Amino acid sequence: MVSKSPAPLLTRRTVLAGSVLAGLGATSFLAACGANERQGSSSGQGSSSAPAKGGTLTVLVSSTATNFDPAKSQSLAITSLGLVHRRLTAWKVESGKPAQLVPDLATDVGSTSDDGTTWTFTLKDGLTFSDGSPIRAADVKWGLERSFAASFSGGLTYHKDLLAGAAGYAGPFEGAHLDSIAAPDDKTLVFTLARPYGDWGWVASTPAFAPVPEGKGAEADYGLKPVSSGPYVLSTVQQGVKLELTRNEHWDAKTDDVRPALPDTVVFSLGQATDVVSQRLAADSAADQSAFGAGFVSPAQLVQVANNPAAKDRLVTSQSGALAFLSLNTRRGALQDAGVRKAFQYAVDKSAFQVATAGTAALAGEIATTLITDGIAGREEFDLYPTEKTGDPAKAKELLAQAGHPDGLSGLTLLVSQSNNGPAQAQAIQASLAKAGITVTLQVLDEDAYYAAINTVNAQEYDLALASWQPDFPSANANLQPLFATSAIGDGGYNSARYSNPAVDAAIATAQATVDTDAAAKAWVAVDKAVMADSPVVPLIYTRNSFLRGSKVTNFFIGAFPAYPNYLAVGVSS
């Protein structure tokens, strides 16, 4: 996943760029406050002792345009889209705890009778849209089918790759339908997959599983006037200025266990400069007392916040976050040799990368040694290449010599996005590699060119690339498959190492097909170790995110995953 600058919807593109991570659509690479570095694991509450109903909550974001079309969205289940659209399943996120999969529109998280190929869901009683019409299984089917239409592309695609017979399907607007999405009655949905897939319950929490009234949503601007299934409706749209959500009178709290819907009104204030947002929230005056920033607090601003006693108590920091890593293009020159690639595990000074990221290790995040990020159930700590955090240049030179390169490596290119502090991070990598006899030239690209290079084979040749990744849902599956499966090379995929190993592909398929949660977790740890043994990437740090809130914002916290505030829980005090 990659990032640009904070928008109300957290997208995949917001979490993969070389030095950029996402707030709600994007912002600078991570930060946390040493003076408050673990507050994200505590209550992170506002000024009142208990969350209260009522009032207006304002979210300050830097993007100037957005929409609430579930087919086009890559929004995490706990961010802004979740205020308007429910899905079959949801995430229960609590302070300091891993996210749990829970029912949303459905009565449970899905059941399978054939080891993961067929999944059945039953809708709850009493579900209605904001127009007062009942939410039926056919509406969920229609919403999913609608996501296949070319004019509504851009959302997450897990379901498109998994549903049987979906290849070549172009949506329902010409009368064609997918037999692999069956709605035999108003309450029942049956999904037939092309292969067993144990995480289908998590996939059912992605935006495309939001219902759209059957026959509606053909218009291009549906995202600006959607029919809501959640506690809020989009009532005011002033693109470039603000979006305003007000209560959906047809939403029934008795059917919804994850959305307390505390504020009467939620306003997304658009086009706000990130540093100015931090200054405003630190000052905590007038309406800003009931606001929070969608974007990360920058390292420079964190220093100021840490020195402001009134403000630092309102800073909430994640325990961890996205994995930042150095990709080694396994199709290029000497990097085709795993022996050469292993030298990079020792050559990189991860502590220098921390400093380049946020000034200090405490602000940047913990040193990374595995690919499965913190906060994912079943994750295992291990280190196949134990060394000092400053690296071991002598060991790296030794491994290069053993691989037939006694004079080191020269002429390599390192791809990085010019956004935010990407060049500084790349320079830190460049300097540490030089100590190990590896000379690197930086290729600094704008964001669009960077993404094109990562997502398209041969769009831009490179040997190394700085990247980061936040999973789309809390499963190791979403950590590993998008980055290391052969199928994720090019064609819009995020396998920036161009890594292809048939044994790993088979292990990924086995892990994906495992329905038992504990067994699946063990299978994914085995994949993590197998990939690391091949060394297609160097894990750098598990980044941290810090967010600032006004003094009247309540119930503002970050769970163990994802590293963002739970928008669905936030309220304001009077």
Pairwise CA distance, residues 522 & 536, whole Å: 21
Q: Is 562 exposed, middle or buried (0-12, 13-18, 19+ CB in 10 A)?
A: buried
Q: What is the pLDDT of residues 310-335, one digit of tens each?
A: 898 999 988 888 999 999 999 999 99
E-strand spans in 398-534? 409-417, 438-445, 464-469
Pairing relation of β-strands 291-293 and 181-182?
A: unpaired
Domain ranges of the chain: 68-231, 323-543
Question: Tell me, what amino acid is at 141?
Answer: K
Contact 268, 293 (CB under 8 A): no
Q: For 143, list phi and psi in degrees, rounded to 5.
A: -60, -40
Pairwise CA distance, residues 60 & 288, whole Å: 9
Q: For 131, list phi and psi in degrees, rounded to 5.
A: -90, 5
Beta bridge partners of 188: 122
Q: Take residue 411 and report the two structure tokens written for it.
A: 């002429």
Q: Is 50 exposed, middle or buried (0-12, 13-18, 19+ CB in 10 A)?
A: exposed
**118-127, 268-277, 292-301, 507-516: least confidently modelled range:** 292-301
Contact 540, 464 (CB under 8 A): no
Pairwise CA distance, residues 83 & 230, whole Å: 6
Question: Tell me, what amino acid is at 158?
Answer: Y
The set of residues, in sequence order, having a beta carbon less than 8 Å from that of 142 and lying 6+ positions away, is 172, 211, 212, 213, 214, 215, 217
Collapsing DSSP to helix, strand or coil, 95 comes out as coil
The set of residues, in sequence order, having a beta carbon less than 8 Å from that of 417 and lying 6+ positions away, is 17, 18, 19, 20, 444, 445, 446, 447, 450, 466
Average pLDDT over residues 470-474: 91
Collapsing DSSP to helix, strand or coil, 463 comes out as coil
CA distances from 264 to 93, 160, 350, 380 (A): 22, 36, 46, 42
Collapsing DSSP to helix, strand or coil, 192 comes out as strand
Q: Which residue has the higher pLDDT, 43 or 85?
A: 85
Pairwise CA distance, residues 555 & 333, whole Å: 52
Collapsing DSSP to helix, strand or coil, 399 comes out as helix
Q: Take residue 529 and report the two structure tokens written for it.
A: 């170790």
The set of residues, in sequence order, having a beta carbon less than 8 Å from that of 514 and lying 6+ positions away, is 116, 198, 520, 523
**Band of pLDDT at residue 65, cut at 50, 70 and 90:** confident
Pairing relation of β-strands 409-417 and 438-445?
A: parallel
- Indicate the pTM of the whole model: 0.87
Architecture of the structural domain at 323-543: Roll (3.10)
Beta bridge partners of 236: 244
Q: Furthest-apart CA pair in the chain: how many Å?
A: 73
Collapsing DSSP to helix, strand or coil, 431 comes out as helix
- pLDDT of res. 50: 66
Pairwise CA distance, residues 175 & 159, whole Å: 20
User: Could you tell me which CATH number the domain at 68-231 has?
Assistant: 3.40.190.10
Enumerate the H helices of 87-151 as residue ranges: 137-146
Mean pLDDT, the chain, rounded, equals 88
Contact 482, 469 (CB under 8 A): yes
pLDDT at 247 over 50: yes
- pLDDT of res. 419: 77
Residue 163 carries which DSSP code? B
**Band of pLDDT at residue 423, cut at 50, 70 and 90:** very high
Q: Which residue has the higher pLDDT, 27 or 212?
A: 212
- pLDDT of res. 15: 40
